Structure 1
Amino acid sequence: MKKWLAIVVLVVCIPVGWWLLSPLWINKEVNEELPTSTEQATAMEEKSEVIVEQPKVQEYTGMFVDGDKTHHAAGKAYTLTQDGKRFIRFEDFNTTNGPDLYVYMLDKSNEIAKGINLGKLKGNQGNQNYELPSNIDMEKYDKVIIWCKAFDVTFGTAELKEI
């Protein structure tokens, strides 16, 4: 009986332990280009030299700050539009890695339940883009956070200010 109990404990503990602890020493770097327009992508595919509109930097920008003494974040966050779509872009981004990290836009209440989930964090290092809902009110949702869903912990925050 003890042998089976030990086997069950190992079968459960090893995968859970790996999921919880491996992000502490494994980094995932993502380096996405700026979003391109549909015309620009088509021109690149056809290898023609068509000049198209580049993404426009919007009025909202901020720098990431640490979530707490254990969870660190740095880099720049800003909004941009391309082909009528709005994105938030992280540049020179770096955060402590974790097991279940998500990107959220928060309003002044700072409550995750009232926030907008932009999806799983693509990587804990590098440059990355997240599409924002078309109807987002940037005056209301003025903060982007990196949040660990499994432990309800904020890893980093960037308060977006109008320039």
Structure 2
Amino acid sequence: AFTASRSGTFVAQNGTPSAGTASLGTDEDGTNFLRFGSDFVTELGTGTVTIYLSTSDTFTADPGNGNPDLRLVGIVDSNGESFYKFNSSVDAKFSHVILWCGSANIPFGYAELK
């Protein structure tokens, strides 16, 4: 069973329909996951939507060094409930989930985790 420790609701950006809930938590084995709720939707027709944890609601790329304020989670492959597994613990500094469309170079939405 998944137990949420922090969760938030997506705020849509750039005219996308992004909405729904995101939760950080663990399963019964203590494995860390990011869960998108069954109410999750975003724009999937533009190509790849990438999920990041962030220390703010703003995506700041730093390709030369890698931005320590971002952590790549994975790729959105469908609307609705999804689980994204972490192989290590999630630093408490990460306060937001960001949906980033690399092909358009714009954010599709963010959720503040509380």
Same fold? TM cut 0.5: yes
Aligned ranges 1:4-43 → 2 under 5 Å: none
Unpaired stretches in structure 2, ≥5 consecutive residues: none
Alpha carbons 2:51, 2:76 under 8 Å: kept: yes
1:75 correspondence with 2:20: yes
**Cα distance, 1:121–1:112 mapped onto 2, change above 3 Å:** farther
Higher relative contact order by CA 8 Å / sep ≥ 6: 1 or 2? Answer: 2
When you count helix as a share of all residues, which structure comes out higher? 1
- Deviations, residues 124-147 of structure 1 (Å, cap 9, x unaligned): x11101123523212x11110111
Unpaired stretches in structure 1, ≥5 consecutive residues: 1-53
- Deviations, residues 7-46 of structure 1 (Å, cap 9, x unaligned): xxxxxxxxxxxxxxxxxxxxxxxxxxxxxxxxxxxxxxxx
Aligned to 2:76: 121
Report the number of matched residues: 104
- Counterpart Cα distance in 2 of 1:79 and 1:96: 22
Alpha carbons 2:57, 2:111 under 8 Å: kept: no
Aligned ranges 1:11-160 → 2 under 5 Å: 54-58=1-5, 60-68=6-14, 70-82=15-27, 83-91=29-37, 92-97=39-44, 98-108=46-56, 110=58, 111-113=60-62, 114=67, 115-123=70-78, 125-138=79-92, 140-160=93-113
- Counterpart Cα distance in 1 of 2:102 and 2:32: 25
Alpha carbons 1:75, 1:93 under 8 Å: kept: yes
- Counterpart Cα distance in 1 of 2:3 and 2:89: 18
Alpha carbons 1:65, 1:74 under 8 Å: kept: yes
* TM-score in terms of structure 1 length: 0.58
- RMSD, aligned CA: 1.7
* TM-score in terms of structure 2 length: 0.81
- Counterpart Cα distance in 2 of 1:55 and 1:99: 29
Which runs of 4 or more aligned residues in structure 1 lie more than 6 Å from their structure 2 counterparts after TM superposition? none
- Deviations, residues 99-122 of structure 1 (Å, cap 9, x unaligned): 121111111383244211112112
- Counterpart Cα distance in 2 of 1:106 and 1:133: 17
- Between the aligned residues of both structures, percent identity stands at 31
Over alpha carbons, which structure has the higher Rg? Answer: 1
